């Protein structure tokens, strides 16, 4: 019989609460959501894929002490997001690691752990927010202007592809990645002294990084676009 992984002990109750909020947002978009957990040293990384956006969302949490001996990835497991959320005890800053589940295809292909380099051209946070809200308003306006007989799924998909494939600023990052970060509340105003959103690249991945979490997208997957702004 295999020994179950030991519980997660977060650095403080805020870390546990922030993780719970992230899991709740993932479940909002997919009640059967799965997340992949990787604990290395004193950090837990949680990967999820909100289906409405077709990106990978990454939330990290500080642990009270290194998980394992600190020499590498000591925990790597795909679990139910709902079961993990239920196990989070915010008052004690702990969580139980649920049983493993059969992972969805995306869980087997994660962004690299290292090798990220800064990418120039990302607009400021206020401009990112304006770009998303403007695209949502444009989507609604264009779809509402369609006559009923043309308001088909194919036509909505076409409009969605046009909007969310737009590059952000002077970068190759598609607007849908910023939309996902906005919906997951990664783009809320940072705490005083925190770094603004930044863009990084590694291999064929792009990663929008904020103080509250990251959104990663594969360059080779930029043609697979969501439709309905949420």
**What is the per-residue pLDDT across 186-208, written as a single tens digit (0 to 9) for each?**
998 777 877 899 999 999 999 99
3-state secondary structure 69-99: CCCCEEEEEEEEHHHHHHHCECCCCEECCCC
| Contact by Cβ (8 Å): 5, 38 | no
Q: Dihedral of CA 134/191/212/122: which sign? A: positive
Domains annotated for the chain, with CATH where assigned, are: 8-108 (3.10.150), 117-221 (no CATH)
User: In Å, how far are 24, 153, 214 from 45, measured between CA atoms?
Assistant: 16, 36, 11
Cβ neighbours of 221 (radius 10 Å): 16
Strand (E) positions, the chain?
Answer: 8-9, 34-48, 56-67, 73-80, 94-95, 117-119, 198-202, 205-210, 213-218
Q: Which residue reads 């008052």 in tokens?
A: 91
**What is the per-residue pLDDT across 4-32, written as a single tens digit (0 to 9) for each?**
789 999 999 999 999 999 999 999 999 99
**What is the per-residue pLDDT across 44-53, written as a single tens digit (0 to 9) for each?**
999 999 987 8
User: In Å, how far are 22, 41, 61, 77, 118 from 115, measured between CA atoms?
Assistant: 26, 18, 21, 23, 10
What is the value of pTM for the model shown? 0.88
**What is the per-residue pLDDT across 71-106, written as a single tens digit (0 to 9) for each?**
677 899 999 999 999 999 999 999 999 999 998 999
pLDDT of res. 189: 78
pLDDT of res. 216: 97
2: pLDDT confidence band, cut at 50, 70 and 90? low
| Contact by Cβ (8 Å): 104, 19 | no
């Amino acid at each position: 019989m295999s020994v179950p992984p030991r519980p997660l002990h977060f650095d403080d109750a805020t870390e546990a609460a922030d993780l719970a909020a992230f899991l709740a947002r993932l479940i909002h978009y997919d009640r059967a959501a799965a997340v992949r957990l990787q604990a290395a040293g004193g950090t837990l990384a949680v990967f999820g894929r909100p289906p409405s956006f077709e990106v990978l969302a990454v939330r990290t949490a500080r642990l009270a002490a290194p998980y394992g001996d600190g020499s590498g990835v000591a925990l790597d497991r795909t679990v139910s997001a709902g079961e993990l959320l239920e196990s989070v005890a915010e008052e004690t800053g702990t969580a139980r690691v649920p049983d493993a589940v059969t992972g969805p295809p995306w869980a087997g292909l994660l962004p690299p752990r290292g090798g990220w380099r800064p990418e120039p051209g990302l607009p400021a946070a206020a401009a990112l927010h304006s770009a998303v809200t403007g695209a949502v308003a444009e989507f609604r306006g264009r779809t509402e202007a369609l006559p009923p007989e043309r308001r088909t799924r194919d036509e909505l998909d076409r409009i969605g592809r046009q909007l969310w494939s737009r590059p952000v600023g002077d970068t190759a990052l598609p607007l849908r990645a910023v939309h996902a970060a906005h919906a997951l509340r990664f783009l809320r105003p940072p705490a005083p002294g925190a770094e603004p959103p930044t863009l990084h690249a590694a291999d064929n991945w792009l990663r929008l990084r904020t103080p509250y979490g990251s959104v990663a997208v594969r360059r080779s997957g930029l043609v697979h676009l969501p439709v309905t702004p949420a």
